[in-house]
Amino acid sequence: MKKIAVIGAGTMGNGIAHVFAQFEFQVNLIDTSATALEKALANIAKNLDRQINKGILSNEDKISILQKVTTFTSIELGVQEVDLIVEAATENSEIKKSIFQQMDQFAKPDCILASNTSSISITALANATQRPSKVIGMHFMNPVPIMKLVEIINGAATDNETTNNIVALTKAIQKIPCVVKDAPGFIANRILMPMINEAVYAFSAGISDAETIDTIMKLGMAHPMGPLQLADYIGLDVCKNILTIMHEGFNDAKYAPCPLLVEMVNAGKLGIKSGEGFYKY
C-alpha cells in the first residue's frame, strides 16, 4: 500500500493522516468542511512541532510529512487511485453508510474500506457496499500519534486477506494490532464505557467528588487518567452516544447512559471541547 485516503479531518482524522504521512504514505485527507481541513493541517503542524521538540523528528521531516498530505472536499476526487480508505467522519450511522456507498462507488475495486468508528457495526457498514469482504474496522485511539493500539474489527464478511493486510499495515506504522469480532462497542468501549458510566453514577449519587473518584482509579488501579477526566477528554456526547449504541445493540439496560450524563450533554457540558464537563477548562 502506498496511497491512503482519510475521510473526516476532525480530532481523529488529522491524527490518522499525520501517522500515515510520517511513515511515508501519500495521504489524501478529505472533509466536506474546508475549515476542518485547514484546522487539520494546522493541528498536524502543531503536533509535528511537538515531536521535533522531543527530538523524534527534524524540521526537514516536518516539511516532507506535510508535503505528503493533500486535502480534498470531494470524496469522488479524493479516493481515486488509493489502496486504502480510513473513514473517520462523524459518529452517525446514516452519514457513515452514505460515505461507504460513495467510497465503494469511486475507489478502485481492490481498495480496502476501513472505518475508525467507535461503536457502529462494521457488518452494517459493509452491507452498504458491493465489497463486504474488503470492509474492516480500524479503530485508532486518541491521540493517534501517541497511542499504540489499533483495534481491528472483522465484519461478518471480512476476508482473511483484508485482515492480514490491515494487521501488517498497522505494524508498519509502528502500532499494535488487536483483532476482534464485530459486536456493539467492540472490546475497548464495551469495557471502558460501562466503567465511565458507573463513575458518573457514583458521582451523581454524591458518593464522592470528581477529583476523589478519579484519584481512586488512578492510584488504586494504575490508570493514567481517572474515568471522569477521561470522559471529559473523550467528550460526554461521544460517551453518551456509544453507551446508547450498546444499550440498543445488546438490548440490555445495564448499558443505558446515566441520567446525569444525558443531562450534562443536553446542557452543552461536553467536556474539554465545550470548556466544561466534570471539570472546568
Q: Which of 18, 28, 87, 139 is catalytic?
A: 139
The percent of the chain in helix, strand and coil, each rounded to the nearest 5, is: 50, 15, 30
Q: Please say whether the beta carbons of 88 and 12 come within 8 A.
A: yes
118 belongs to the catalytic site: yes
**90 contributes a contact to ligand NAD by CB under 6 A:** yes
Q: Which of 47, 118, 119, 197 is catalytic?
A: 118
Binding residue for ligand NAD (CB under 6 A) from 117, 123, 154, 197? 117
User: Which residues fall within 8 angstroms of residue 99, CB to CB, at 6 or more apart?
Assistant: 7, 75, 87, 89
Binding residue for ligand NAD (CB under 6 A) from 99, 138, 166, 265? 99
Dihedral sign for Cα atoms in the order 102, 38, 272, 51:
positive
Cis omega before residue 257 (within 30°)? no
Quickly tell me which residue has 470548556 as its cell: 275
Binding residue for ligand NAD (CB under 6 A) from 43, 47, 71, 118? 118
151 belongs to the catalytic site: yes
By CB under 6 A, which span of 4-12, 76-84, 103-111, 260-268 interacts with ligand NAD?
4-12
Q: Please say whether the beta carbons of 78 and 86 come within 8 A.
A: no
Restricted to residues 155-194, the positions that interact with ligand NAD (CB under 6 A) are: none
User: What b/e readout covers 41-58, taking b as 16+ CB neighbours within 10 angstroms?
Assistant: bebbeebbeebeeeeebe
Strands 69-72 vs 3-7: parallel, antiparallel or unpaired:
unpaired
139 belongs to the catalytic site: yes
- Nearest distance, CB of residue 103 and ligand NAD, angstroms: 10
Restricted to residues 128-157, the positions that interact with ligand NAD (CB under 6 A) are: 139, 142
Binding residue for ligand NAD (CB under 6 A) from 3, 4, 8, 257? 8
By CB under 6 A, which span of 48-56, 114-122, 130-138, 203-211 interacts with ligand NAD?
114-122
User: What b/e readout covers 224-255, taking b as 16+ CB neighbours within 10 angstroms?
Assistant: eebbbbbbbbbbbbbbbbbbebbbebeeeeeb
Binding residue for ligand NAD (CB under 6 A) from 5, 21, 91, 184? 91
Does residue 113 sit in helix, strand or coil? strand
By CB under 6 A, which span of 7-15, 54-62, 77-85, 176-184 interacts with ligand NAD?
7-15
Restricted to residues 10-69, the positions that interact with ligand NAD (CB under 6 A) are: 10-13, 30-33, 36
Q: Which of 14, 115, 116, 151 is catalytic?
A: 151
223 belongs to the catalytic site: no
Known catalytic residues are 118, 139, 151, 189
The residues of the shown chain that bind ligand NAD, judged by CB under 6 A, are: 7-13, 30-33, 36, 88-91, 95, 99, 116-118, 139, 142, 234, 238
